Structure 1
Amino acid sequence: MPSAHFIKKGDKQYWPTIAALFFGSFVTFALLYCFQPLIPVFSSEYKISPSIASLSISMATGSLAIAMLLTPSLSDHFGRKLIMCSSILGSTILIGIIAFIDNFYVILPIRIVEGIFLAGYPAIAMTYIQEEFDPGITGIVMGIFISGNSVGGLLGRLLVSTLTDLFSWHVAIGTLSILSFFISIWFYKNLPVSQNFQPCKLSLYDVAQRFTINLKVGKLVVIYMIGFLIMGSFVALYNYAEYPLLAPPYSLSQTLVGFIFIIYLVGTFSSTFMSRLASLHGELKVLDMGLMCMLLGIIITILLPLWLKILGIALFTFGFFGSHSIASSMVVKYSPVGKAQSSALYLLFYYAGSSFIGTWGGNFLIWKGWSGIVILLSGSICLALVLSNTLLVKNYHSSVRKLHV
């Protein structure tokens, strides 16, 4: 692949392409998690448990995780841009339909279909970055791309929380769908067509082989498992953080709780900041630092003062986005073949964690209140730290062997 085709810093296409990827990420995460602040609303309005209400998130992330196995092959055949554009536009239309529905159990199957559409963006965008940008800057570009996740998550939740408080959740979701529609059109007009991509039609056997080869790489499997744990913990935190904040002694309004999601902005900073640190000090060391931030953050939230709870959530969020940014870039770097399929496997584990731990957390909330959530997430992050340090030790021994040789 000729280096002349790579997008470099200073090129005319550099910032428009990054902006398009950022806003595509923004729409994907805004639509995927816009129901998160509505979980307590659904619990109250439809007289259902927190775990059942959280299915409005888990159904979408679960179908997204499974569909992620198919989207790389579609993009290999039809092209990266077409699949990404179809993904965000299709999911925007579906969320607009949900705005007119007043039955929770009718919303759920639509969310499943929406998750399938949303699967066409994250893994393909990660592959697009690796294919189109100069290899020396892909880590930084990936960090900016992932910061779109945090901004989308923030503004989606903030918009929905505020409009739900002022009007209704139907108005809130409808407004988000209109905003997403205009961004989808802007995305289509501004994202350049791939220059370093050649369409190919892979047989089911070839696709299965690519998945199998990546699953045999020990380093990759460990990173996939870390993705499962950190994303599951992150979603569980934000799924259930509203319950104690809406209740005494805080008794915050839906709008005020929504503004707490401004904490997401620390993710915009941490994903790029920690990507730069990783290029200086090594990916695994900085990944460990991110996981430690998550662990310390969740432990702090057990304390009663509101400012300490917010500080803990902020620290957890900082650690999560930094860890995810580093893990995402490591996945593509370590993949021997089928980088799109490897990215898809990472995101399969990642969103499976969101569905499993995100829903399971409701049982811990009923069992021990917020302390139950802290127990679940602390255990998950400790396991992620064990896995990360396993990789670190293996890399150290590998380096020592190379020196002796």
Structure 2
Amino acid sequence: MSRTAIAAGSREFKRTNRALFFGGFSSFALLYCVQPLMPVMAQQFALTPAQSSLSLSVATGALAVSLLVSSVLSDRLGRKPLMVAAMATAALMTLLCAFAQDYPQLLLMRAALGIALGGMPAVAMAYLSEEIEPASLGLSMGLYISGSAFGGMVGRVLTSVLSDFFSWRLALAAVGVAGLLAAVEFWRSLPASRNFRPVQGGWSALAGGLRQHLGDDGLPWLFALAFLLMGCFVSAYNYIGYRLLAAPYHLSQSLVGAISFLYLIGIFSSVWAGKLADKLGRRGVLWIVMTVMGAGLLLTLADNLLLVVAGMALATFGFFASHSIASSWVGRRARAPQALASALYLFFYYLGSSLVGWLCGLAWSGGGWTGVVLLLAIFLALALLIALRLRKLLPISGATPSLATT
């Protein structure tokens, strides 16, 4: 680690965390603002639940592919310029979505948004891994993910309320404006990279990096975890709205959107888990918080509304804690090119969101909420087996102690 690494408590540390909090906020708000609008769009455009889920799935699928290209660009052009451009462009695409004339046009704009956002999440993880001292990386990654949780909450609640009282078009326009303001604050706050070194080689470097990271004993398992965890989490929020709008609950769109306030729990759990993993080690904490997530999803099978909400709260706590630990584990284990390692993690993360989210639409059509939860239980059981396997993962041969400690 460079001697110029940003230390906890410094002015640069505070500026970095503030900027990345806004970055995480913007990314999740722009990406997931359509999630509570799926029942509204299904009604307006005469769509099935699986079809309406495409408004999210096309964006996350495009984002997954874009991440790999963005990792190559960021290794050559730098971290901050690409992240600023990604945030601003994605916000503009959200504004354009508000003026879409039909559903295919909206899907096209959402796909463009996903491509633009490819320059944000993996690059942000690489920036933190390069610039923050190893002892504080878990905390910084947790703060970034807490910003994601806050953005996901605000985006969902804002669009739910505005669509209930005004229209879904006004809701998307409001989120787009918020994204532009977040991009400006990000540009003002984030310190320029001090430890970034341009990497030459382009696509040949990408191929070499892929071989290196996919040949590691631990990274592919962390990538698989990203696919399974994110797929389960997004699917739960995709279809809980359909359940709560229907009998016996008959909640309003605003009240269904209010369930996103549970993301506040994710803001706490991501930071808490990052600190705990820095102290006790990732291998001993990860499987525990994943178990909490699974228990929460099973609790949502209850008919009582309070138990359903409590189950979603536990699932939210467990997901953000798990994601915080797994993502920081990638940052500490991966060797150069680090941006590509982060991109691969997030490639599978968003691919899980896209594919599992669509599959759960079919499960909903066949078995309702019970069908969705049973499918997610299978995926989470696989994820737990992977987490238990990672407990036996050996440190990287010949790595520095800060990288080998997992």
TM-score tier by shorter-chain length is over 0.9
Q: Say whether the 8 Å CA contact 1:142–1:325 is kept in structure 2.
A: yes
Give distance in 1, aligned partners of 2:347 and 2:334: 15
Give distance in 1, aligned partners of 2:25 and 2:151: 4
Q: Say whether the 8 Å CA contact 1:88–1:121 is kept in structure 2.
A: yes
Give distance in 1, aligned partners of 2:246 and 2:369: 12
Give distance in 2, aligned partners of 1:191 and 1:312: 37
Report the CA distance between 1:384 and its aligned residue.
Answer: 0.2
Give distance in 1, aligned partners of 2:5 and 2:217: 30
Q: Where do residues 206-285 of structure 1 align in structure 2 (5 Å cutoff)?
A: 206-285=205-284
How big is each residue's C-alpha offset from its partner over 1:366-394, in whole Å with a ceiling of 9 and x where there is no partner? 11110001101111110000111112134
How big is each residue's C-alpha offset from its partner over 1:271-301, in whole Å with a ceiling of 9 and x where there is no partner? 0111122123221221101110111001000
Q: Say whether the 8 Å CA contact 2:25–2:150 is kept in structure 1.
A: yes
Once the two structures are overlaid, the 10-residue window that deviates more, 270-279 or 33-42, is: 270-279
Aligned to 1:403: none
Give distance in 1, aligned partners of 2:2 and 2:12: 17
Give distance in 1, aligned partners of 2:262 and 2:2: 42
Amino acid aligned to 2:346: L
Q: Where do residues 108-119 of structure 1 align in structure 2 (5 Å cutoff)?
A: 108-119=107-118
Amino acid aligned to 1:41: V
Amino acid aligned to 1:249: P
Q: Say whether the 8 Å CA contact 2:72–2:202 is kept in structure 1.
A: no
Give distance in 1, aligned partners of 2:180 and 2:295: 39
Unaligned runs of 5+ in 2: 398-406
How big is each residue's C-alpha offset from its partner over 1:114-146, in whole Å with a ceiling of 9 and x where there is no partner? 101001000000011111111110111100111
Aligned to 2:176: 177
Unaligned runs of 5+ in 1: 399-405
Report the CA distance between 1:181 and its aligned residue.
Answer: 1.0
Aligned to 1:401: none
Aligned to 1:312: 311
Root-mean-square deviation (CA), in Å? 1.3
Amino acid aligned to 2:251: L
Give distance in 2, aligned partners of 1:394 and 1:170: 49
Report the CA distance between 1:163 and its aligned residue.
Answer: 0.2
User: SS where residue 328 of structure 2 aligns?
Assistant: helix
Aligned to 2:299: 300
Amino acid aligned to 1:285: G
- Is 1:369 the counterpart of 2:368? The answer is yes
Q: Say whether the 8 Å CA contact 1:39–1:50 is kept in structure 2.
A: yes
Q: Say whether the 8 Å CA contact 1:213–1:337 is kept in structure 2.
A: no
Report the CA distance between 1:8 and its aligned residue.
Answer: 1.2
Aligned to 2:79: 80
Aligned to 2:323: 324
Give distance in 1, aligned partners of 2:328 and 2:11: 24
Aligned to 1:197: 196
Aligned to 1:150: 149
Normalised by the length of structure 1, the TM-score is 0.96
Give distance in 2, aligned partners of 1:394 and 1:169: 47
Give distance in 2, aligned partners of 1:333 and 1:112: 31
Give 4+ residue runs of structure 1 displaced > 6 Å after superposition.
none
Report the CA distance between 1:9 and its aligned residue.
Answer: 2.0
Q: Say whether the 8 Å CA contact 1:214–1:337 is kept in structure 2.
A: no
Q: Say whether the 8 Å CA contact 1:85–1:184 is kept in structure 2.
A: yes
